[in-house]
Amino acid sequence: MVSDVLKELQGKMDKATESLKRELAKIRTGRANLSLLDGVKVDYYGTMTPLNQVASCQVADPKLITIKPWEKSLLVAIEKAIKTANLGLNPNNDGEMIRLPIPALTQDRRKELAKMVKKEGEDAKVAIRNARREANEQLKELKGKGKVSEDDEKKGLKSVQDAIDKGTKVADELVGKKEKEIMEV
């Protein structure tokens, strides 16, 4: 019984951590990274399609991403999608491919991005704390129904707290690493 609650808790914490990793990957650091384009959707014959499914995206060098669509007719749609994605990037269309230069970050922009990173980290920690609350309620409910003893409940509550401490530590490490990456000139 208690192990089931702990497994469910671990699953929820893993989801929160994975979500945090995905969100942090979308925040640019001044270096070209294809994960910047993960949220970009292109209007492909009336269907919003992820950019990587309609074009070949590559990191040409640390400051440049190249996007070569499989159909030249998509160049304008891709350019528009990048602009509307609000990434702070300016696409250059040369008729064959789109070049996406990654500008250097200003100090103000670095601070703004660091705040975004902290917010994402806090959101992940909130999700982890919510998982703890649910796990604790489940354990108390099991004790109330007589399915686990008082000792097992206390051990379970301690195990839940230990797992939560590890989860928040991982989230803090991810946030710290990303902040360091952003502030690196």
- Mean pLDDT of the region 8-21: 93
Query: How do residues 65-120 score in pLDDT, each as one tens digit?
Result: 999 999 988 999 999 998 888 777 889 988 899 999 888 878 888 888 889 999 99
| pLDDT of 8 strictly over 90 | yes
Confidence of residue 185 (pLDDT cuts 50, 70, 90): low
Q: Which of 102, 111, 125 is nearest to 171 (CA)?
A: 125
**What is the domain partition of the chain in residue ranges?**
2-26+106-183, 34-101
Q: How confident is the model at residue 31 (pLDDT cuts 50, 70, 90)?
A: confident
- Strands in 55-61's sheet, in edge-to-edge order, are 55-61, 64-69, 98-101, 92-93
Q: Is the pLDDT of residue 35 over 90?
A: no
Domains 2-26+106-183 and 34-101 share a fold: no
For the segment 170-184, the average pLDDT, to the nearest whole number, is 90
Could you tell me the CA-to-CA distances from 87 to 41, 90, 185 in Å, in that order? Answer: 13, 9, 20
| Residue 56 binned pLDDT confidence (cut-offs 50, 70, 90) | very high
- 2: confidence class by pLDDT, cuts 50, 70, 90: confident
Whether the pLDDT of residue 34 is over 70: the answer is: yes
Distance from C-alpha of 127 to C-alpha of 130, rounded to nearest angstrom:
5
* CATH architecture assignment, domain 34-101: 2-Layer Sandwich (3.30)
Contact 4, 17 (CB under 8 A): no
Q: What is the mean pLDDT of the chain?
A: 89
The terminus-to-terminus CA distance of the chain in angstroms comes to 51
Instruction: List the alpha helices (DSSP H) in the chain.
Output: 2-26, 75-84, 107-144, 150-183
101 DSSP β-pair partners: 64
Query: Domain 2-26+106-183 belongs to what topology?
Result: Topoisomerase I; Chain A, domain 4 (1.10.132)
